[in-house]
Amino acid sequence: MAKLKIAGYWASSCGGCEIATLEIGDKVLKLAEVADIVFWPALVDTKYHAVEQMADKSIDVCLFNGAIQTSDNEQLAKLLRAKSKALVAYGSCSYEGCIPGLANLTNRKDVFHRVYVETPSTDNPNSVFPQTKCQMPEGELSLPEFYDTVRTLAQTVEVDYFVPGCPPVGKQTWAVLEAIVQGNLPEPGSVVGAGTRALCEECPRTRQEKKIKAFYRPHQIIPDPDKCLLEQGLLCAGIATREGCGALCPRANMPCTGCYGPPAGVIDQGVKFLSAVASIIDSNDPNEIARIIESIRDPVGTFYRYSLPSSMLRRARIK
Amino acid sequence: MKRISIDPITRLEGHGKIEIFLDDAGEVANAYLQIPELRGFEKFCEGRLVEDLPQITERICGVCPEAHHMASVKAVDDVFHVDPPPTAKKLRELLYSAFYVFDHATHFYILSGPDFVMGPESDPAIRNVLGVIAKVPKVGLEVIKAREMGHEIVEIVGGRKIHPCGALPGGMSHGLNEEQRQHIEGMARSLLEFAKLTIKVFDDVVLANKAYVDLILNDSYVHRTYYMGLVDGNNKVNFYDGKVRVVDPEGKEFVKYAPREYLEHIAEHVEPWTYLKFPYLKKVGWKGLIDGRESGVYRATPLSRLNAADGMATPLAQAEYERMYSTLGGKPVHATLATHWARVIELLYAAERLLDLSLDPEITGPNYRIIPTATPDEGVGIVEAPRGTLTHHYVTDEYGVVKKANLIVGTTNNNAAISMSIKRAAQGLIRGGKEISEGLLNKIEMAFRAYDPCFGCATHSLSGQMPLEVKIYDSQGRVLRMLKRP
């Protein structure tokens, strides 16, 4: 049997997904027995133009991490789509937009102004900004374009599979790679490398009735280590988040922040989380309800921390 | 004008490329390090809850999230005017020391090690970590084990292996029990043995080879700059806490500042050809990409930290510190490649510190958190990331919602110096008419690999080399030659 051809790439991301793939440890060697890594800047040395010269669909599986925030990111996404039989959005950035996707609350002009002019350490009296083309005495230098809007991989090209997590945990990555090697992948369009239910199902904390009079921020209370965090008034996203990590944050006495995205069947994680929160407020007094809700001072960062670009929220225009 | 492009070099907050221009005589006219990526954290952190920033800003870098987690939580402590209890600070430093051990080990063995173990001009097909494992198999396995142990300690204390969640204003989310402490102590003992082994490997492979020592001291790799590093109350190197000390190119203290004073001393310059800014010493001024006393360019690297401090706080590292300076001719050392030596000395310090902290009776204490009570307003947190001094600065409203955030990230400190080092190495190594070989290009790469720039971390993870492509253009832009690796 011919060896599988596997590729990997990062776009706008932090590198954590690359480190996460290394978490499979010595299984890398097992993978090497059955698969050739044909392009993966973090692992092997193949150039872009070498990928351009490959025949279309000649890569069996490409694990693509990172969001689409620059023209470079978009080019590579299109190139790897064309060359790959199966394109996998690996990790929260390519799947949902993740933390870089919070940039959709702003735009290029405002980011540039903040970073290159307004920050108190910046000394830029002439308001110089990075340019896509810059004529230097020795020749022209170019930079990719920075986009106003961060997009997910699936908003850029067709995607076959999604692996959630910021980053995906090692055992899940290995499970996905095994499925690839054994030809065991499910229907295209599926989420792989995670369960289907809410994180609560794998959380060891005991659950009772959820009735909330006040919400707390993590630094404001020391929660009981054994009881459901949401029941203690902490905005734990587990109820609206896909299982798969093993409930790492709740085990560390911190609320889940939602990095594994929505459970199966849920289109918009923020809506799910918000409706869950609304349903546990223990009051019928509109004023009291308003007061309780008002204590949630960053709704976007709380409900959509990892999923803003893939959510139903769309800005109508850019100022 | 001929042109050499090295694209992509990848990963600072992602990606990078180098453009080298040759003049008509084939000499290097100029070299540019371009960072073609930006994500905008300074803007979209506005509106977030400040206590969430330790988990949001660590997504700047998945290679060193621990550094952002720590700088951020220290800034948030400051925002809330809260001083975490000793157990909390020790837990944070314990996590951070474990992180330093595996992060420095990764760089030394996997990223830059192949240059020395296999040789800078060896066949690129074997000049990688797999080549290193084949040549010294026992060491290779030790590196993998050290990485695993380090990550395990980060997970026990910080809740997650990558992007920890455990630090919050006032302390840590959970403490350590005696069973966990014993487990960590055992791993710390192994990591200390690993650190000693690393010193020996550096001795055997690098210092015992006169050609390498000559290479380290070669003028193509020398810059006389200011040096920056965090120091404790005794002016010893510290990664987690203290004041930032800057020494001048003669090694004399130029300034020592507390985190909240950073704006008096650091400013950032903008160039239109890169998305990355150029920090410099404000009181010296921006004079362009040049070194020397009159230029505000400083470096913040392992070697810089050793240059900026009076010594190491642990005995074995202190002995190595003294040996390095006596071998290389006293302080400060300006040879960029000596950064590798400084890095293994820091690795030894981190391992000693890790063991000390795992034996500290307070580490299992019940007071790992206090609840902040003051009204939040503004704070600055500084730690030493492995790749340079890391500064987080937040301003909030009275509810702790972020109004402004400013970040000066590890590698960014060295942006100017890395550009200068590439140009100098290129000028020293590329000579008119001389053939530009792969090995020669690798020697240019070694100039910036010494900084362990974050754009190198992930790229180098296994292959130990950059995805490197060199095109040489004539003055009409036609490709005269193309060099590919391997």
- pLDDT tens across A248-291, in order? 999 999 999 999 999 999 999 999 999 999 999 999 999 999 99
Could you write out the DSSP letters of every residue in B87-134? HHHHHHHHHHHHHHHHHHHIIIIIIIHHHHHT-TTS-TTTSSHHHHHH
**DSSP bridge pairs for B483:** B470
pTM of the model: 0.94
Q: Which is nearest to A8 in space by CA: A37, A45, A48? A: A37
Residue B236 CB: number of other CB atoms within 10 A?
18
Burial environment of residue B331 by CB neighbours within 10 A (0 to 12, 13 to 18, 19 or more)? middle
Position B478 scores a pLDDT of 45
DSSP annotation of B419: H
Q: Is residue A39 a part of any domain in this protein?
A: yes
Q: Would the CB atoms of B59 and A16 count as touching at under 8 Å?
A: yes
Average pLDDT over residues A116-122: 97
Q: In this structure, are A46 and A80 located in the same domain? A: yes
Q: Which residues pair with B402 in a beta bridge?
A: B396
Measure the CA–CA gap between A317 and A315, rounded to whole angstroms: 6
Is the domain of A136 the same as that of A249? no
Torsion, Cα A146 A147 A149 A153, to 10 degrees, reads: -90
CB atoms A134 and B273 under 8 Å = yes
Contacts of B246 (CB under 8 A, 6+ apart): B226, B227, B228, B253, B254, B255, B256, B257, B265, B281, B298, B308
- Asked whether the beta carbons of residue B40 and residue A103 sit closer than 8 angstroms, the reply is yes
CA distances from B340 to B100, B145, B206, B244, B345 (A): 14, 21, 10, 22, 9
**Does residue A314 form part of some domain?**
no
Judgement on whether residues A208 and A285 belong to the same structural domain of the protein: yes
pLDDT at B254 over 60: yes
Give a yes or no: residue A165 inside a domain. Answer: yes
pLDDT of amino acid A228? 97
Q: Which of B59, B64, B123 lies closest to B98, judged by CA? A: B64
Task: Say whether B34 sits in a helix, a strand or coil.
Answer: strand
Do A119 and A185 belong to one domain? no
Give me the residues of A, 15-54, that contact B with CB < 8 A.
15-20, 22-23, 25-26, 28, 41-49
B170-203: pLDDT as tens digits? 999 999 999 999 999 999 999 999 999 999 989 9
Pick among A12, A18, A19, A249 to test the B interface (most B CBs inside 10 A):
A19
Can you tell me the distance from the alpha carbon of B14 to that of B223, in angstroms, rounded to the nearest whole number?
A: 26
What are residue A39's DSSP bridge partners?
A: A7
For every residue of A183-229, which 3-state class applies, written as one string?
A: CCCCCCCEECCCCCCEHHHHCCCECCCCCECCCECCCCCCCCCCECC
Could you tell me if A166 and A53 lie in one domain?
Answer: yes
Rounded distance between C-alpha atoms, residue A214 and residue A198, angstroms: 23
Indicate if A204 and A223 belong to the same structural domain.
Answer: yes
Cβ–Cβ below 8 Å for B274 and A130: yes
pLDDT at residue number B410? 79
Helix (H, G, I), strand (E, B) or coil at B33: strand
User: Does residue A63 sit in the same domain as residue A129?
Assistant: no
CA-CA-CA-CA dihedral for B261, B266, B267, B269, to nearest 10: -160
Which one, of A54, A41, A11, A62, lies nearest residue A177 by Cα? A62
Q: Clarify whether residues A94 and A169 are in a common domain.
A: yes
In this predicted structure, the answer to whether residue B15 has a pLDDT above a threshold of 70 is no
Q: Are residues A208 and A236 in the same domain?
A: yes
Range of the domain at A95: 4-99+150-191
Q: B168 and A254 in contact by Cβ < 8 A?
A: yes
pLDDT tens sequence across A7-22? 888 888 888 888 888 7
According to DSSP, the residues that pair with A234 across neighbouring strands are A216
Among B221, B181, B145, B125, CA closest to B439: B125
Q: Whose CA is closest to B247, among B225, B226, B222?
A: B226
Whole-angstrom distance, CA of residue B231 vs CA of residue B245? 7
CB contact under 8 A, B37 and A46: no
- pLDDT given for residue B297 in this prediction: 97
Q: How far is CA B477 from the centre of its chain?
A: 37
Q: Measured between CB atoms, which of B40, B162, B279 is closest to A167?
A: B162
Number of domains in chain A: 3
Tell me the angle at which helices B339-358 and B315-328 cross, rounded to the nearest 10 degrees: 170
Instruction: Please name the member of B19, B40, B399 whose beta carbon is closest to the beta carbon of A297.
Output: B399
Backbone angles phi, psi at B132, to 5 degrees: -65, -45
Render pLDDT for B102-121 as a digit per residue (tens, 0 to 9). Answer: 999 988 887 777 777 777 77
Q: What is the mean pLDDT of residues B141-152?
A: 89
A26: pLDDT confidence band, cut at 50, 70 and 90?
A: low
Tokens found for residue A118: 């307004």
A12 and A56 fall within a common domain: yes
Preceding omega of A41 cis (within 30 degrees of 0): no
DSSP A315: -
**pLDDT of A142 strictly over 60:** yes
On whether residue A132 sits in a domain, the answer given is: yes
Determine how many CB atoms are found less than 10 A away from the CB of residue A86: 17
How many residue pairs bridge chain A and chain B with CB atoms within 8 Å of each other?
257
Interface residue A318 vs chain B (CB under 8 A): no
Distance of residue B379 Cα from the nearest chain A Cα, in angstroms: 14
Regarding whether A81 and A182 lie in a shared domain, the answer is yes
Residues whose CB falls within 8 Å of the CB of residue A89, separated by 6 or more in sequence, listed in order: A64, A65, A95, A152, A153, A154, A159, A161, A162, A163
Average pLDDT, chain B: 87
Contacts of B42 in chain A (CB under 8 A): 111, 114-115, 119
Q: Which regions of chain A does DSSP assign to beta strands (E)?
A: 4-10, 35-39, 59-65, 68-70, 84-90, 133-136, 139-142, 146-151, 161-163, 190-191
Q: Residue B156 pairs with which residues in a beta bridge?
A: none
Is residue A280, in this structure, part of any structural domain at all?
yes
Dump pLDDT digits (tens) for B288-347.
999 999 999 999 999 999 999 999 999 999 999 999 999 999 999 999 999 999 999 999
CA distance B485 to B477: 22
Q: Mind giving me the DSSP string for B217-275?
A: H-GGGB---EEEEEE-TTSBB-SSSSEEEEE-TTS-EEEEE-GGGHHHHEEEE--TT-S
Nearest to B62 among A46, A116, A167 (CB): A167
Domain annotation covers residue A182 = yes
What is the Cα–Cα distance from A229 to B167, expressed in whole angstroms?
17
Pick from A219, A221, A235, A305 the residue to mutate for testing the B interface (most B CBs within 10 Å). Answer: A219
**Would you place residue B19 in the very low, low, confident or very high pLDDT band (cuts 50, 70, 90)?**
confident
The residues pairing with A5 across neighbouring beta strands, listed in sequence order, are A36
Q: CA nearest B367 in A: which residue? A: A222
Here the CATH number for the domain that contains residue A63 is: 3.40.50.700
Poorest-pLDDT segment among A159-163, A179-183, B87-91:
A179-183
Longest CA–CA separation in chain A, Å: 71
Domain membership of residue A85 (yes or no) is yes
HEC-encoded secondary structure of B292-341:
CCCCCCEECCHHHHHHHCCECCCHHHHHHHHHHHHHHCCCCCCEHHHHHH
Over 60: is that where the pLDDT of B484 sits? Answer: no
The encoded tokens of residue B266 equal 């650091």
Q: Do A218 and B277 touch (CB under 8 A)?
A: no
Asked if residues B194 and B98 have their Cβ atoms less than 8 Å apart, the reply is no
Q: What is the pLDDT of residue A29?
A: 66
Closest CA to A253 of A227, A276, A274: A227
User: Looking at the DSSP assignment, which residues form a beta bridge with residue B341?
Assistant: none
- Residue B299 phi/psi, 5-degree rounding, is -120, 145
Contact B43, A150 (CB under 8 A): no
Backbone angles phi, psi at A139, to 5 degrees: 155, 180
- Has residue B18 got a pLDDT over 80? no
The DSSP H or E segment spanning B214 is helix B210-217
Q: Are A143 and A154 part of one and the same domain? A: no
pLDDT at B459: 36
In a domain, A318, yes or no: no
